Structure 1
Amino acid sequence: MDRQLNLRLIEEGASAERLDALTSYLRQELLQLDVDDVRRPSTADAPPGARAIDAVALGGLVVTLGRSAAALGNVVAVIRSWLSRGDGVKRTVKIEIGGDTLELSEVSQAEQDRLITLFVDRHSTGGGRP
C-alpha cells in the first residue's frame, strides 16, 4: 500500500507569494525522487475543523511514497537540503506520516540526524511500529 507523507513548510516572515514559490520549488525537487506523486493538499486532506482556506494552506504538500524503502529517507534528505538553503531565515518543515509528526528547524546537525533516524526507522519497511 502506498504511504502518504504530509509536509508543512514555514518560513518566518514570508509573504503568501514567497511561501507559495518556496513550496513550488520544493515540490519540483521532490518530484525528482523515486516517489509516486507530490501535490498540493486539497480540501479532502484538511484536518477536521479546518477552514477552507486552511485546507489548501500555503506551504502544504502531500507526498505519496509508493513502495520504495528508501523513498522516505530521500524525501527527508531533500527537506534538510532545503532547510540549509535558508540564508539565515528561520525555516521549519513539519513532516507527518500516519499520525506521527517530525518537526525540523534550527537544531544542531547531530540532533537532526538523531531525530531523522528515529522517524525514518519507525516508518520504513516495517510500517508504523511504535
Structure 2
Amino acid sequence: MGEEMRLHIAEDGADPERVAALTGYLRDELRQLDVAEVRALPGSEPPPGSRAFDAVAVGGLLVTLGRSAEGLRSVVGAIRAWLSRGDGVRRTVRLELGGDVLELSEASAADQQRLIELFVRRHEPTGDSDGR
C-alpha cells in the first residue's frame, strides 16, 4: 500500500456543515483518480458542550496514494482545479505527506505550480526497477 496524505479543507466564513459539504465534493473528485483509497480523516473527541459531527475531523480527508508519482501529481492537480472553482471565496487545502506540508490557497498559478513541483519531486519514488 502507498503513502497516506492528509488533507485539511477550509473556506473563509464557512460553518462546519458547509466545510463538510465541500469535503464531500472534493472526496468524490479524488475517488475518480488512480488512488488506493479516500476517506474521512478520523477526528478526536469534541470539547465538552460542542456539537459533534460524528467521529471525523470536519474538513479532513485521508488519501492513500498508489506507488507512482503520477498518483500524487493527479491528486494535487485535482485539488488545484477544485480550488480554482471557489467562486471568489477563499478556500485553503493543507496537504501533509511524509512530514512535509503544502498549503494551497490564493497563491498565483505560477507560484502554486512551482510549489507543487517541489512537493511532488520530494515524494517521487526512487529506485524503482520498472522505471516509474
Aligning the two structures, in what range does the TM-score lie when normalised by the shorter sequence? 0.7 to 0.9
Structure 1 unaligned segments of length 5 or more: list them: 44-50
User: In structure 1, what is the Cα distance between the partners aligned to 2:2 and 2:34?
Assistant: 13
Could you state the TM-score of these two structures normalised by the residue count of structure 2? 0.85
CA contact (8 A) 2:68 2:124 kept: no
Larger Rg: 2
Query: Size of the alignment, in residue pairs?
Result: 120
| Structure 1 residues 48-127: aligned runs within 5 Å | 51-53=44-46, 56-126=56-126
Give 1 or 2: higher strand fraction: 2
Q: Which amino acid is the alignment partner of residue 97 of structure 2?
A: I
Q: Report the Cα offset of residue 83 of structure 1.
A: 0.5
Could you state the TM-score of these two structures normalised by the residue count of structure 1? 0.86
RMSD: 1.7
Runs (4 or more) in structure 1 with deviation over 4 Å come to none
Structure 2 unaligned segments of length 5 or more: list them: 48-54, 128-132
Give 1 or 2: higher helix fraction: 1
- Provide the identity percentage: 59
Q: Secondary structure at the match of 1:58?
A: strand
